[in-house]
Amino acid sequence: MAAPLPLLKTSLLAGTVGVITGAGSGIGAAAVRCFAAAGAKAIYASDIVDRNLQAVADGVAQEGYESEVVGVKTDVTKAEQVEALVRKVIAEHGRLDWFFANAGIVDFEVLNTTTPEALTRMLDVNVVGAFNSVQWAARGMMNPSDAKPSPGGSIIVTTSLAATFGGMGAPAYTISKHATVGLVRAAATNLGMAGTGIRVNGVGPGPTATAIGQNNMRGASPAAMAAMMERAQHAAADPAVMSAVAPPEYIAQAAVFLASDMAAGINGENIIADKGLRQKPDPFSGLMFNPSIEPL
């Protein structure tokens, strides 16, 4: 795995308190660093497996960021656990300003080998887990206290480039990520109609340099595993393909922006962070050779 990108310290989130799910690795772990670099007062780093959370917190301290990082083991598919997490934040800080619902899993099966059980698991984590996060985050953001007398906040959901067309991910994954975009839009509308002052947006990664693939290979069929390994080897040998792979900080920084007041005018949107992958030429585009731009 590549070394973490150096981050610019800002005060975009100074004094704020929030939650990042799926924080033990990948985009979630990068987000803890990025939210800390943006000056967040306290970050609740949540994951279903908590063995890496202390290392994530220690890394923030070692980089000199002053954010308090609290590791909390949470299964986002269990509404009562998400509720407990939000209540913990409110009890300890009296406020919830932002919530990055990042926890998710991937799948590698084609349509014919996707089982109902695998589809259900994908929907449980990627959709029900995100729904539980949005619902309880909104309730926490509406909670008045001396620390935060007025309601409001920002909820960010990790969607995917696979939510924009059918050829990016396996069927179960693609289905689940299309659903997360529906969740973002429906929640933004509902919370707007209720006058909550809460914004809900999605950030959709393209190919990202994380271990999510390896972490979710355990249940893959032999055929899917073999195909995945073959494609990974081909991709690693192709500089043009690898240039499209983003560091996880690129996605995390987009989430920081959406959490901040800089994005006050953005609500119900799905921001794609794919390093421009969608803009690369299609074989039928008519771009038959690489253009060159002459300097002055």
Catalytic residue among 44, 65, 173, 250: 173
Per DSSP (E only), the strands in 159-279 are 198-205, 270-273
Contact 154, 97 (CB under 8 A): yes
Name 205's bridge partners: 273
20 DSSP β-pair partners: 45, 100
User: Any catalytic annotation for residue 65?
Assistant: no
CB 38 within 8 A of CB 256: yes
Q: Which amino acid is at 204?
A: G
CA atoms of 60 and 36, how far apart (whole Å): 7
| Degrees, nearest 5: CA angle 2-31-239 | 30
Strands (E) located in 48-152: 68-73, 98-101
| Residues 191 and 200: beta-carbon distance below 8 Å | yes
Q: What is d(CA 232, CA 216) in angstroms, rounded to the nearest whole number?
A: 15
Which DSSP helix (H) or strand (E) runs through 29? helix 26-37
Distances from the Cα of 3 to the Cαs of 36, 163, 210, in angstroms?
A: 18, 28, 12
Residue positions annotated with a catalytic role: 173
